[in-house]
Amino acid sequence: MINTYTGAMEQRDKAGSVSSESAHDGQTLGVFYEKQLEKDCYLVAAIFYSFEGAGGPLEQRIWRQQRRLSPKQRREIVESFDLYPKQAFQDEDRRQIPWGRLSVEAKAVKTSVEDVNELKPPSSDIIERAARGHDLAGFRSIRDFMAHGELLQATHAYLLAVANRSLTPTQDVADYLGVDNQRAKNLVQRARRAGYFDSESNLPTPAALALAEKYWSLGEGRR
């Protein structure tokens, strides 16, 4: 059984559309919200209820995808929902979940210490030695050259903190570099914009690895 709420369709285009689907012989109800954010990008939310149990939702999901859900896809999602042994949750239950800690755990699982340590950031001594020569690795000035060396240090410290499940990775960068928290935050942001680590995988990029090697090569050659 599919009930699609089509009233005032033209007014609902920008606000999104709402539809529902039942399964498991009418025991499970899935209510869907879909809204087009941009071309080939739709926001989808699904809330699951039990007709037999309490009135509150059993589960909520939210994701993005390229196209609207078809009636068949909505039906399959509701049919695959495991009704038991779930019970309805309350708003206060949602507030008790430490969402930040879950995010930290997810990032740590995707980021291994071994992969992070492939980046060997130049020490301050190496950066200073390398800056004495004429080869500045393509940077226009000694100031830029030394600044990017510091960005590599911040990159490694930040990614290592993420891999070690730190709840305060920016503060770890500040402690490592001996700077205040705001400067550490700025360094991490600049390192991200410079393309020295991937925000999705939280791993150093090939560009960061190559530049770090350049610093070490230049610095160690001027002992």
DSSP string, 132-199: TSS--TT-SSHHHHHHHHHHHHHHHHHHHHHHTT-S-HHHHHHHHHT--HHHHHHHHHHHHHTTSEET
pLDDT surpassing 80 at residue 6: no
* Sign of the dihedral defined by the CA atoms of residues 196, 199, 201, 202, in that order: positive
Given pLDDT bands bounded at 50, 70 and 90, which one contains residue 56?
confident
pLDDT surpassing 70 at residue 79: yes
The pLDDT of residue 221: 66
Q: How far apart are CA 159 and CA 211, in angstroms?
A: 17
The pLDDT of residue 62: 95
Packing angle, helices 142-163 and 99-110, rounded to 10? 110
pLDDT surpassing 70 at residue 159: yes
The residue ranges of every structural domain in the chain are 2-96, 99-220
* Residue 110 CB partners (closer than 8 Å, separation 6+): 201, 202
The pLDDT of residue 5: 35
Q: How far apart are CA 109 and CA 164, in angstroms?
A: 9
Higher per-residue confidence, 171 vs 202: 171
